[in-house]
Structure 1
């Protein structure tokens, strides 16, 4: 499965980085955030700033969207590109304006001069969008000087994970265009493709009660990841994959570990900072780490009984010998290869790991390779839950210096770029000109040699549609299987506290988590006893954790919790 299929960009590389980002606010003499720079938005103001959602039915997916809990839903799934792609935009788009943009790019930067792909898309847009892709690996370092010197381009992509360097709660107010007057509520309906994006996609683009960001690579079913298993290995060993509790998972560990034969049941099932195992043991995920205890008091994920149980259980699996030695050594470099080759039968990974290229690589390593995912389950066998993450990990922003006419023109351009998968516009934005940049092969677009040289992920980082599950490398069954899994998963989605509020933590808390992550690694791998964790939590509280709780108590008192 490839979600939001775009040349040169994997959705997983975005989503694994996406989380609630605590931007660093200005501090007054007492060390508390100035209100104007906080970035925080309460539930009432958030509702006023968010665009209305108006689904589009112009493109019919092969596997329809399934609604889930708390506003979550599955991504639409396509088994082939529609034979007669409909147009979703009619009439003139742009008005001939010229605009400079800046976006990240992980990969080779295509030529800007004489690029027939750029010319073809700009012709359709009716405007000259000058693309300036920059190295994605150093992109975060390029942004602060631009903001400081007030030399921002007209349109810029800002990944959420870079905002900590930008004092973003203040930056949006002083440098970037307020889009609330153009897009809030029903106003967005003049831009139907933007209106078709889910509400969850917009929430992290709201700062200080106003809408600034256009969501990139959005989805309405964003979770950190899942537990995968090798169905072919389970079937060969006669082991059931109907796992409903950690007791069942332990039985899998015993049945599928044979160290003398070079096979272990598990890779690391914890994830960095407990990114995955929180689902099983019911404590908050990394992006939104606070929950209310039985008395209503705010409790950080580090303080929960769930994480203690998870650490003890994982260390128990290590001691039993069920984890691959490289996982025990905290070596994640060859994790995919271990799974492909059958050295491990169960692993934890992001949602984007389940795709056609994976199926192709796995089959090359092991004939009969079949990646599947366990349905969501909880440690004790009860009803599972999974935290809803932000509906987008990137946003683009318009420069505040643009006038009203220019903002409207760029929003019309954004509406074109946000045309859904399956549309005529999506083909143009992502694959250029038929015959020149791509050909249709087995029902899906395939880049030509010229297309591979001229096309990269560029316009897509300015605006784009919601993700779609699509066939990659001919793996039709993978798309079907992943869509079915997603349909089951969305039933259990819950919204965490402070969801979508863009809470900006004071700078003194920015390094508070680092020692905790190291301790998690030591305890989960059995290097240190659980007492090392309880000691670390006590230290965390003294060194700022309790003060951070007071900060969030203040947010809760003033703005609510957003749940």
Structure 2
């Protein structure tokens, strides 16, 4: 059974602050109205109540941490007697057209026994129409423009920047607030079991519109992974509490003559990882407050310290030469083969796949992650990301009766892992589409042809951690790491407010990313960064700050 922690960072680090079409008037200043933005007060009024699922008992239960974070439930095998979570009829015979992305081969639509079986359980005809996920975004704008949207559509967060979504959502999609806000969602228990932070980016203009897909309750940028087998062999401690401890690892585990280096790139794109260590914003929410003034991550002392430290590691020779050359294509292979002992990566990489025969050169290969720590050894903090990277929406033209029917169907599709409904939605019919092997469902030849991710992109439950490649220990290790990490979560400024940035600011980021690369790898001195920040401010950074100050004045900061 595969892990349902998706590896695509777009699904685990959802986009909450988005660059959208221009919102400027002729004079270049922000309009009074900021389509999409929701104040914290309004957000709290419309968010659904969270009622954890109790129908299925995982092997390792979810843990609730700080900032509303909830760890993923862990299953070591599928329950032998999966319970039903939905009683009575689901649909009422309606017929609906859907549109979802799909990364992979599109199964046949006619004569598909899997579709027939699921629709029979749903009591409705849900016509699945998958489209190539790689070009999915190109299909959306024409649909919006022609007003030919289907009844139910999945829209990934990374595809909405060209849709003026904050404005369009009001005219195209059904307002689900009356049906799902607060305790109203308790009519749909499986939807109510989706954590609160997965719903925040489904709220636009103070109303709830979307259903979270592949939600997670404790999304973070990633982790610092290490090869425990290499640490043990060298007698090096993995109890890392500061960057000073990490430097000691660099010295102990670097042997260029033997083709081994301690580190790969530990910084990440646009400081995506190292902000966790140095305490500056590192995700999709780049602002922090310093004495009442909004400060961008580019302006923080923390990023300067991080750049200096990383360049120091490069100069010491602790980074693999390919990492120093900014070659990330073979980064995973460098870690698997033991050429580097420590790397930064998304949590989706920790799923057991790399323990397959042949993936790792060393048969004793053991990936682990350092417990959350800070650069100085003090109390660490980790920014919580949005709990979903894509959402599905219902067409505004649907009647009240149709909306209720589709929400009832969504409740079925969102049945938790371990339930009878989850098996049907994900694996179809026992004996036809799957058989049980070592306690987990395995697709048959027919199942492999007819089943692909489809209904799940319309509604899905809290993503579980499951055993992949037969390695139960990986699932246990990830659960333990997540339970520790969730204690340190915090919400960044403007969290979940769906702020649409004017398009004129879209060109500000790339020059900064390029400078980060040059400085972190020792190609340019730290003075180049100082100069880049000054240019960033002159070329629009200060105007962007004013834009967010205006947002803060009108809507607050989401804290």
Coarse TM-score class (shorter-chain normalised): over 0.9
Q: Deviations over 1:212-253 (max 9, x none)?
A: 010001111100100000000000011110111000000100
Structure 1 residue 22: deviation in Å? 3.2
1:168 and 2:165 are equivalent in the alignment: yes
**Given that residues 22 and 504 in structure 2 are in contact (C-alpha distance below 8 angstroms), is that contact kept between their aligned partners in structure 1?**
no
Structure 1 residue 553: deviation in Å? 0.6
Structure 1 residue 141: deviation in Å? 1.3
* 3-state SS in 2 of match to 1:539: helix
Q: Give the total of aligned pairs.
A: 559
**Given that residues 11 and 217 in structure 1 are in contact (C-alpha distance below 8 angstroms), is that contact kept between their aligned partners in structure 2?**
no
Q: Deviations over 1:100-139 (max 9, x none)?
A: 1111111111111111111111111111111111111111
Structure 1 residue 56: deviation in Å? 1.9
1:430 and 2:434 are equivalent in the alignment: no
1:83 and 2:80 are equivalent in the alignment: yes
- CA–CA distance in structure 2, aligned partners of residues 549 and 141 of structure 1: 31
**Given that residues 4 and 11 in structure 1 are in contact (C-alpha distance below 8 angstroms), is that contact kept between their aligned partners in structure 2?**
no
1:417 and 2:423 are equivalent in the alignment: no
Structure 1 residues without counterparts, runs of 5 or longer: none
Match of 1:203 in 2: 200
- CA–CA distance in structure 2, aligned partners of residues 282 and 467 of structure 1: 28
TM-score by length of 1: 0.97
Q: Deviations over 1:513-556 (max 9, x none)?
A: 11101111111111111111111100000011000101111111
1:50 and 2:57 are equivalent in the alignment: no
Match of 2:212 in 1: 215
**Given that residues 497 and 561 in structure 1 are in contact (C-alpha distance below 8 angstroms), is that contact kept between their aligned partners in structure 2?**
yes
Structure 1 residue 23: deviation in Å? 3.0
Structure 1 residue 33: deviation in Å? 4.2
- CA–CA distance in structure 2, aligned partners of residues 102 and 361 of structure 1: 38
**Given that residues 103 and 133 in structure 2 are in contact (C-alpha distance below 8 angstroms), is that contact kept between their aligned partners in structure 1?**
yes
Structure 1 residue 10: deviation in Å? 4.6
Give runs of aligned pairs for residues 24-43 of structure 1, distance below 5 A: 24=21, 26-36=23-33, 38-43=35-40
1:345 and 2:368 are equivalent in the alignment: no
**Given that residues 32 and 506 in structure 1 are in contact (C-alpha distance below 8 angstroms), is that contact kept between their aligned partners in structure 2?**
no
- CA–CA distance in structure 1, aligned partners of residues 356 and 224 of structure 2: 20
> RMSD between aligned alpha carbons?
1.4
Structure 1 residue 54: deviation in Å? 1.5
Q: 1:434 to 1:11 in 2, by over 3 A?
A: farther
- CA–CA distance in structure 2, aligned partners of residues 174 and 534 of structure 1: 45
**Given that residues 12 and 216 in structure 2 are in contact (C-alpha distance below 8 angstroms), is that contact kept between their aligned partners in structure 1?**
no
Structure 1 residue 52: deviation in Å? 1.2
2:383 pairs with one of 384, 387, 391 = 387
Structure 1 residue 361: deviation in Å? 5.5
Match of 1:115 in 2: 112
Structure 1 residue 506: deviation in Å? 1.1
1:454 pairs with one of 450, 457, 473 = 450
**Given that residues 278 and 375 in structure 2 are in contact (C-alpha distance below 8 angstroms), is that contact kept between their aligned partners in structure 1?**
yes
Structure 2 residues without counterparts, runs of 5 or longer: none
- CA–CA distance in structure 1, aligned partners of residues 357 and 26 of structure 2: 57
Pick which of 501-510 and 17-26 moved more.
17-26
* 3-state SS in 2 of match to 1:372: strand
- CA–CA distance in structure 1, aligned partners of residues 169 and 509 of structure 2: 26
**Given that residues 382 and 488 in structure 2 are in contact (C-alpha distance below 8 angstroms), is that contact kept between their aligned partners in structure 1?**
yes
Structure 1 residue 18: deviation in Å? 4.7
2:285 pairs with one of 279, 283, 288 = 288
Q: 1:320 to 1:380 in 2, by over 3 A?
A: same
Match of 1:542 in 2: 538
- CA–CA distance in structure 2, aligned partners of residues 75 and 371 of structure 1: 19
Structure 1 residue 397: deviation in Å? 0.5
Pick which of 9-18 and 154-163 moved more.
9-18
1:477 pairs with one of 473, 476, 480 = 473
